[in-house]
């Protein structure tokens, strides 16, 4: 049984592993000179393999795509992913945030061990090789979304699937810096500064976390987690003191300030950092619980950590086979799903890759 995997990211490698274990002769093709380049980039600051929170809570992170992704993640949950990593000879640990990391804190040792395993099972890797389009060869497509195109995820595969009658939803940036038009003085002084322990609300969704100020916008865990709501609304409200009630904040604001400067008053009264006070002033606010910020358009798709959009779910069956091309399966970020950072992206990419590999095995046998 000869099969082709197109794309050497986590979803493609996961599909290849399942197929090789099932007895298929697997060839992975990739148009780059080296495999899994975006996976390697993701691991530079500490690779988030998955998350340790209860499975029921983890599944909520996938929003509207949960009904389709749930059986795949239940079939290969976080515990299974950690066991798989251990089987490669790499231990994992849970960080203070609940995220799961490989002990080396990098993607490269994981990738090297994974590639050795695949090579040992007869998987052939053909790099610098283009995918020429749909045909009758049993195939798993794992070509990624459309962020960081220089690393391989160009989204150019849309030009093959759309003319073939497969609906592909437009790509939208996710887990990305959101643009804000700062004043020149603010950007120059506070770019690169974090603001910790805040609550951010957008379109009715509330997230606790950290912000990072940038010269042209705002990012950080709390911003990334609101990627979906921010595609619907370009206004966010920041609560700089989420652990204080509005009544307590109101009472403190009513205290006489005397000759004390505004900055000193907020620093002493609310223990706010200089970047937090400056952000409140930049937003023309005087209440640390209601700092309203207007975003300036969508984030940069090319520099997004991930992308929403992709192959519409109704185009694939329960095994991830394209209805119009039943010997072609789709996995990973090519599908229309979205999730925040923190391990949820790699968890779903590997789970869908394994599911597609199992689906192709089933088709070859039946």
DSSP 87-111: HTT--EEE-TTSEEEETTSSSHHHH
φ, ψ at 335 (rounded to 5°) = -80, 160
Q: Does residue 40 contact residue 13 with C-beta atoms inside 8 Å?
A: no
CB 126 within 8 A of CB 1: no
Please report which confidence band the pLDDT of residue 152 belongs to, taking 50, 70 and 90 as the band edges.
Answer: confident
CATH code of residue 11 = 3.50.50.60
Pair 105, 16 in one domain? yes
* Residues 213 and 290 occupy one common structural domain: yes
Distance CA 290, CA 240 (A): 8
Is 200 found in the same domain as 153? Answer: no
Please indicate, yes or no, whether residues 269 and 187 belong to a single structural domain of this protein.
yes
Question: Do the domain assignments include residue 48?
Answer: yes
pLDDT attached to residue 356: 98
Q: Are residues 261 and 182 in the same domain?
A: yes
In the chain, % of residues over pLDDT 70? 100
* Structural domain contains residue 299: no
The reply to whether 24 and 82 lie within a common domain is yes
Tokens 């939803």 locate to 169
Question: Where in the sequence is the domain holding 199, given as residue range(s)?
Answer: 178-294
Q: Are residues 47 and 120 in the same domain?
A: yes
- Whether residue 43 is predicted with pLDDT greater than 80 in this model: the reply is no
| Residue at a domain's end among 273, 294, 315 | 294
In a domain, 121, yes or no: yes
240 in any annotated domain: yes
* Pair (141, 61) in one structural domain: yes
What's the total number of domains in the chain?
A: 2
Q: Are residues 165 and 185 in the same domain?
A: no
**Residues 15, 127: one domain?**
yes
Q: Which of 294, 322, 342 is the last residue of a domain?
A: 294
Residue 138 has pLDDT above 90, yes or no: yes
Beta strands in the chain (DSSP E): 2-6, 25-29, 50-51, 92-94, 99-102, 124-126, 139-141, 168-174, 178-179, 194-202, 205-214, 217-219, 235-239, 291-294, 306-311, 328-330
**In the prediction, which pLDDT does 1 show?**
86
Does residue 285 register a pLDDT over 90? no
- Is 300 domain-assigned? no
Quick one: 340 exposed, middle or buried, by C-beta within 10 A (0-12, 13-18, 19+)?
Answer: buried
- Residue that is last in its domain, among 240, 270, 294: 294
Does residue 301 lie within any of the structural domains?
A: no
Residue with tokens 């020149």: 184
Residue 185 confidence class, pLDDT cut points 50, 70, 90:
very high
How far is Cα 52 from Cα 359, in angstroms, rounded to an integer? 27
Task: Tell whether 87 and 169 lie within a shared domain.
Answer: yes
If asked whether residues 135 and 161 sit together in one domain, one would say yes
Helix or strand holding residue 356 (H, E): helix 344-365
Helices (H) and strands (E) in the chain, counts: 14, 16
How far apart CA 38 and CA 61 sit, in angstroms, is 22
pLDDT at 59 over 90: yes
Structural domain includes residue 267 = yes
Residue 345 maps to a domain? yes
């Amino acid at each position: 049984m000869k099969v082709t995997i197109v794309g050497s990211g986590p979803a493609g490698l996961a599909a290849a592993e399942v197929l090789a274990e099932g007895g298929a002769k697997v060839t992975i093709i990739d148009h780059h000179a080296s495999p899994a380049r975006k996976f390697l980039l993701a691991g530079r600051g500490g690779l988030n393999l998955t998350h340790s929170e209860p499975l029921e809570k983890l599944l909520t992170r996938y929003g509207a795509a949960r009904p389709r992704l749930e059986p795949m993640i239940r079939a290969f949950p976080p515990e299974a992913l950690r066991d798989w990593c251990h089987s490669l000879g790499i231990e994992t640990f849970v960080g203070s945030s609940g995220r799961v990391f490989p002990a080396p804190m990098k993607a490269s040792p994981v990738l090297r061990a994974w590639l050795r395993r695949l090579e040992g099972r007869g998987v052939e890797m053909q790099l610098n090789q283009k995918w020429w389009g749909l045909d009758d060869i049993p195939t798993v497509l794992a070509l990624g979304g459309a962020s960081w195109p220089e690393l391989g995820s160009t989204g150019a595969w849309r030009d093959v699937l759309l003319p073939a009658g497969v609906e592909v939803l437009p790509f939208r940036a996710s887990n990305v810096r959101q643009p804000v038009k700062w004043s020149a003085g603010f950007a120059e002084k506070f770019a690169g500064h974090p603001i910790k322990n805040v609550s951010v609300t957008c379109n009715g969704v509330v997230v606790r976390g950290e912000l990072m100020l940038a010269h042209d916008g705002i990012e950080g865990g709390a911003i990334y987690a609101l990627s979906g709501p921010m595609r619907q609304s370009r206004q966010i409200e920041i609560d700089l003191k989420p652990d204080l009630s509005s009544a307590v904040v109101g009472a403190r604001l009513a205290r006489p300030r005397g000759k004390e400067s505004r900055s000193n008053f907020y620093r002493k009264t609310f223990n706010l950092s200089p970047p937090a006070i400056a952000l409140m002033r930049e937003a023309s606010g005087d209440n640390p619980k209601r700092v309203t910020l207007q975003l300036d358009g969508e984030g940069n798709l090319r520099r997004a950590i991930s992308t929403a959009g992709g192959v519409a779910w109704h185009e694939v069956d329960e095994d991830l086979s394209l209805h119009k091309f039943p010997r072609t399966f789709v996995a990973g970020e090519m599908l229309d799903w979205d999730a925040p950072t923190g391990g949820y992206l790699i968890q779903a990419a590997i789970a869908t890759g394994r599911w597609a590999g199992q689906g192709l095995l089933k088709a070859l046998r039946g």
